[in-house]
A and B are shown apart, each in its own frame.
Chain A
Amino acid sequence: MKIAVCIKRVADMGARFQIGADGASVSDAGIKYDMSDFDEWAVEAALQLNEKHGGGEVTVISLGPDSAQETLRKALAMGADKAVHLKADRIPFDGFAIAEALAAELKDGGFDLVLFGRIAVDSAAGVTGAMVAELLDMPCVTAVSKLEVSGTTGTAERQVEGGVETLSFPLPALCTIDQGLVTQARYPSLKGIMAAKKKPMESKPAQLGAISVNVSKMELPPERSAGRIVGEGAAAVPELIRLLQTEAKVL
């Protein structure tokens, strides 16, 4: 199968963030970047599908500045076959502008399956995949937790409140991958990391759509204020309940 996986380079969510000088972005200083977790699972899912069916090709695509190539190389190190870097000065927030650029690249690729992560862990908008499906006129299943392909039919499972839903759809199709589809993405092996350098990586300008949504301001959450001890033992319970009712208003 020819599978494309769209991946995003995001800041390591464990980092201590600072707001950039423009007040509307995250400062680069001291931040480590990596592939968004859901995208990593999507790459793993693509590799597993092709391993199971024998053969095929996995192309990874990432939009962003030159540093996106490092993330693409990680996917190549995991086992993807080739990479396309859609070059942009920065990754805009507007998912539709990104979707247009990705769709333009995917359109004539002849892919049987296009995979995305369910969300990018930094922006958490979760819209780009569905928009690309619309632009490509492909069936779309979001938040897929299990994926099988047989001939030209795909079967996907989704975790819904209190149960599991099974869907089927014709290929070519687009799926966004949720947590749980793979237990864990593989570690890029050391040989894989070395081999990644020799795999094809194409870099071209992204044909971004018009950007109509921008981040105007970013703020860090306020510092948590210190806790308060209202008393000790059973004697403190009435006061605690009173405060939870009147002050915290949670009861």
Chain B
Amino acid sequence: MALHIDTEISLLPSGHLSPREGDLFNIDAALTEEERAIRDSVRRFVDERILPIIGDCYVQGRFPKELIPEMAELGMFGANLPEEYGCAGLSSVAYGLIMQELERGDSGIRSFASVQGALVMYPIFAFGSEAQKREYLPKMAKGEVIGCFGLTEPDAGSNPGAMTTRARQQVDGSWIINGAKMWITNGSQAHVSIIWAKTVDGDESGKSVRGFIVPTNTPGFTAKDQKGKLSLRASDTSELVLVDVHVPADAMLPEVQGLRGPLSCLTQARYGISWGAMGAAMACYEEALSYSKTRMMFDKPIGAFQIQQVRLADMITEIIKGQLLSLHLGRMKDLGTFNSNQVSVAKRNNVNVATDIAREARRLLGGNGILAEYHSMRHMANLESVYTYEGTHDVHSLIIGSAITGLQAFK
């Protein structure tokens, strides 16, 4: 009996809660009080600070960097990393909820936090020397140092092993890096970049890849924003060019070699994205739901027509499924038992259903649905980036396919 009760408590730490309005499946019951408090605090920040300005930022193609200090103050950067490095030391589920709420605002804002936390702070934490951790993590948690993650290249996207960026070690142990990176989130804003580069000639597969912490003011380093984006417009995406960029020996992340380095960062970020996509989907669903109750056509609210109810029922059902997927994944991550195949399932599914939900919400809104004043079309366009980055949907299909069949279909 006691055992039974213990299990119950750990599965539903807030089991006493009755389902709140808007929480059809009572997912709140599966969150602890702290997790709910964290979610609510970030939600309020997003409602008050991001939602009022994000439509304009998007149209102007501007990342609202004035929000960085406040996001840092709240503790959103690298929130799941330990307190001894100035981070909040939160559980993976709490971290996921932060991503969900930020992306309820905008995928670009969540991308900023993902890159800062999962793609720059995480590799420094996981693969850096103690000196690197002490040097960078506290300042990055405070938002004083902004980071970017340079893996993708013009000719190496889904296949990062094909990268051509090359770091050559000098006799004194220092490194000279040459190459070009593309599609780099925060690139032009960043003070520091993590550059992944091959360290030996003739390495076809990427086993010599090493990560380098490269300050963006190092001579030979240039970043230029990519123009003409129709998606993720409230986020800076840049091209990086490195010409004879000279960094000291201790710029290298010592504890990892090969593609495992960048890929394990991506596993962290993708986990957060699986939550984030549900945030974007929730924003669209909530907008569509509220619109459906007030928009009158043929003498009744459009929400009273069966077609729109099917639409809304499909949306909320997929959101519930996606959230439970991420929640289960998060609990396993905290136990230390999760793996990257599971992350692929969650990233692939949740982003995919979110793109559908955003499109359906946009359609439900009729003509208003194409305006920046409403949120759905912005999310719809944003989610196309999310669908493509951090492993395209197709690439995750191949990862899952390989995991279940034992047969590789990448090449």
Contact = CB atoms under 8 A, between A and B. Distances in A.
Interface of A: 15-16, 28-32, 70, 73-74, 77, 184, 187-191, 193-194, 197
A16 B44 CA distance: 20
B33 A190 contact: no
A177 to B, nearest CB: 20
B20 A31 contact: yes
Nearest to B88: A190
27 contacts: A30-B18, A32-B21, A70-B33, A70-B37, A74-B37, A77-B37, A184-B48, A187-B41, A187-B74, A188-B41, A189-B41, A189-B73, A189-B74, A189-B75, A189-B88, A190-B42, A190-B75, A190-B76, A190-B79, A190-B88, A190-B90, A191-B88, A193-B38, A193-B41, A194-B88, A194-B90, A197-B34
B8 interface: no
Nearest to B89: A194
A73 B33 contact: yes
Contact of B21 (A16, A28, A77): A16
Interface of B: 18-21, 33-34, 37-38, 41-42, 44-45, 48, 73-76, 79, 83, 88-90, 94, 98
A15 B75 contact: no
B45 A187 contact: yes
Contacts of A194: 34, 88-90
Nearest to A78: B41
The 9 closest A-B pairs by CB, nearest first: A190-B75, A190-B88, A30-B21, A191-B88, A193-B37, A188-B41, A191-B75, A187-B41, A189-B74
Nearest to A187: B41
B97 to A, nearest CB: 10
B44 A187 contact: yes
B92 to A, nearest CB: 13
> Which residue, A16, A189, A197, has most C-beta atoms of chain B within 10 A?
A189
A75 B304 CA distance: 42
A170 B73 CA distance: 36
A190 B45 contact: no
Nearest to A30: B21
Contacts of A193: 34, 37-38, 41
A70 B41 CA distance: 14
Contacts of A15: 21
A32 B23 CA distance: 11
Nearest to A31: B20
A31 B19 CA distance: 8
A28 B21 CA distance: 11
A32 B34 CA distance: 15
B20 A73 contact: no
Contacts of A32: 20-21
Contacts of A77: 37, 41
A190 B44 contact: no
B76 to A, nearest CB: 7
B292 to A, nearest CB: 16
A225 B334 CA distance: 54
A190 B20 contact: no
A190 B18 contact: no
A101 to B, nearest CB: 25
B94 A190 contact: yes
A108 B90 CA distance: 38
Contacts of B42: 190
A190 B98 CA distance: 10
Given A187-B41, A189-B74, A190-B76, 8 more contacts: A16-B21, A30-B21, A32-B21, A187-B74, A189-B88, A190-B98, A193-B38, A194-B88
> Which residue, B33, B37, B88, B94, has most C-beta atoms of chain A within 10 A?
B37
A139 to B, nearest CB: 35
Contacts of B98: 190
A29 B18 contact: yes
A187 B98 CA distance: 14
Contacts of B75: 189-191
A30 B19 contact: yes
A29 B19 CA distance: 7
A188 B88 contact: no
Nearest to B14: A70
A73 B37 contact: yes
A197 B38 CA distance: 13
A194 B42 CA distance: 14
B140 to A, nearest CB: 15
A147 B39 CA distance: 32
B248 to A, nearest CB: 33
Nearest to B98: A190
A4 B247 CA distance: 55
A193 B88 CA distance: 10
Contacts of B19: 30
A184 B88 CA distance: 23
A185 to B, nearest CB: 10
A49 to B, nearest CB: 20
Contacts of B20: 30-32
> Which residue, A32, A184, A190, has most C-beta atoms of chain B within 10 A?
A190
B21 A190 contact: no
Contacts of B88: 189-191, 194
> Which residue, B41, B89, B90, B94, has most C-beta atoms of chain A within 10 A?
B41
A191 B94 CA distance: 12
A73 B88 CA distance: 17
A188 B39 CA distance: 11
B91 to A, nearest CB: 9
A29 B75 CA distance: 33
